[in-house]
A and B are shown apart, each in its own frame.
Chain A
């Protein structure tokens, strides 16, 4: 069966520190991969998506970047965190049009 893993579950980082969040998918091949963010009391915002290794599309300009070094691995990074980067980060995957999306359990990031 297909599973999606995200870690860590919670993270507290100081302003200006780097960030690396990892997401991996098991049990499928060539998934489309997505990073979302949900700020406190706000809706889910799509940050990045990827249709293949090394292929990244950004939805909004920001202090973050994404990479897909392997087919089932998606990484969200920042060189220097801002207070406004705090939020609930979610990874998701699907197999394309007509398929449902599966979300990970999320990482709650607090920048202090």
Chain B
């Protein structure tokens, strides 16, 4: 799987929007961009994924650059429960699973 680059950590305030960046300059045309988050002592939780177009769901929005070499996960109004490690992962064809990196540790200040 192609590699992604994320900041080690980010800090935001409660009730403010959060923009989590991800660079994936070697993305291939068939790679989907996935985002998951993991709270301490829990399994990863699916957040959102997309291929080319921006995506919205009840949890977040995914903004994908036109050249697909970067993307941004947007949490529209952060709460303390959004504090977690966020993983940006590329997943192409095949069933060989997700390759997790170190992710971004998101800290939410009250």
Task: Decide: A101 near B95, CB < 8 A? Known: A43-B100, A43-B101, A90-B43.
Answer: no
Task: Please classify the interface of chain B as helix (H, G, I), strand (E, B), loop, or mixed, using the class held by over half of its residues.
Answer: loop
Interface size class of A (residues with CB under 8 A): 20 to 34
The distance in angstroms between the C-alpha atoms of A59 and B98, with both chains bound, is: 12
Interface size counted on chain B using CB atoms at 8 A: 24
The distance in angstroms between the C-alpha atoms of A92 and B32, with both chains bound, is: 18
The distance in angstroms between the C-alpha atoms of A49 and B38, with both chains bound, is: 21
Complex interface: chain B residues within 8 A of A102 (CB):
46
The distance in angstroms between the C-alpha atoms of A62 and B16, with both chains bound, is: 45
Q: Is the CB of B94 within 8 A of A97?
A: yes
On A, residues with C-beta under 8 Å from B are 32, 34, 36, 43-46, 49, 51, 57, 59, 88, 90, 92, 96-98, 100-106, 108
On B, residues with C-beta under 8 Å from A are 30, 32, 34, 36, 41-46, 49, 51, 91-102
